[in-house]
């Protein structure tokens, strides 16, 4: 017993010597168990929600550009049908509906804060047709663009969160 006390490692607690091996063993057993495949997916590529969120972030940054669902699915590293499924789970709409909503909200902000007319705002956010923009704007906000902006500028109009945060 006395000879063991003179070893340099004997001054270290046994747990510090074994902790690395124990941690490795625990990780190995967890990865081999029922949750192993899911944990490996999260650690390597991320789960479907994280990968879909990557495509959503891309749309937010590029809403004025034309998008193809195939390209978004590639960004997310999924098939088109799987991407559509998870996109709807996260947003309750299709990618093109999501882009349309972003465009309409951005155009509304530009008209309200920067004084742009409807046609200029429409083209800035990626619309190719002012009449299509007017139709979609009226359907989404309940009235034509310039009438909506006049109403929002009137005294007592509610302050819009999405516009204020801009």
Residues 120-162: tens digit of each pLDDT: 999 999 999 999 999 999 999 999 999 999 999 988 776 665 5
Type and span of the H or E element at 100: helix 95-114
Residue 11 has what pLDDT? 60
pLDDT digits (tens, 9 = 90+) for 36-53: 776 665 565 568 888 999
Q: What is the pLDDT of residue 165?
A: 42
Distance between CA 36 and CA 38 in Å, rounded? 5
The beta-carbon contacts of 157-161 under 8 Å, at least 24 apart in sequence, are 160/108, 160/112
Q: What count of Cα atoms within 13 Å lies in the side-chain half-sphere of residue 44?
A: 8
pLDDT range class, residue 14, cuts 50, 70, 90 = low
Q: Over the stretch 79-90, which tens digit does the pLDDT of each residue have? A: 999 999 999 988
Q: Kindly state the tokens that stand for 100.
A: 């349309």
Cα radius of gyration (the chain) = 27
b/e map 40-72, b = 16+ CB within 10 Å: eeeeeeeebeebbbebbebbeeebeeebeeeeb
* pTM of full prediction above 0.75: no
């Amino acid at each position: 017993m006395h000879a063991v006390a003179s070893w340099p490692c004997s001054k270290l607690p046994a747990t510090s010597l074994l902790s690395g091996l124990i941690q490795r063993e625990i990780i190995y057993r967890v990865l081999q168990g029922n949750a192993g495949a899911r944990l490996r997916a999260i650690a390597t590529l991320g789960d479907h929600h994280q990968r879909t969120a990557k495509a959503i972030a891309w749309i937010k940054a590029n809403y004025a550009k034309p998008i193809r669902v195939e390209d978004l699915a590639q960004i997310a590293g999924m098939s088109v049908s799987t991407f559509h499924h998870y996109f709807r789970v996260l947003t309750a709409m299709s990618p093109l509906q999501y882009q349309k909503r972003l465009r309409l909200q951005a155009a509304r902000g530009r008209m309200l804060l920067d004084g742009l007319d409807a046609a200029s705002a429409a083209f800035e956010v990626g619309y190719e047709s002012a009449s299509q923009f007017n139709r979609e704007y009226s359907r989404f906000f309940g009235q034509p663009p310039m009438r909506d902006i006049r109403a929002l500028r009137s005294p007592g109009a509610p302050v819009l969160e999405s516009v204020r945060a801009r």
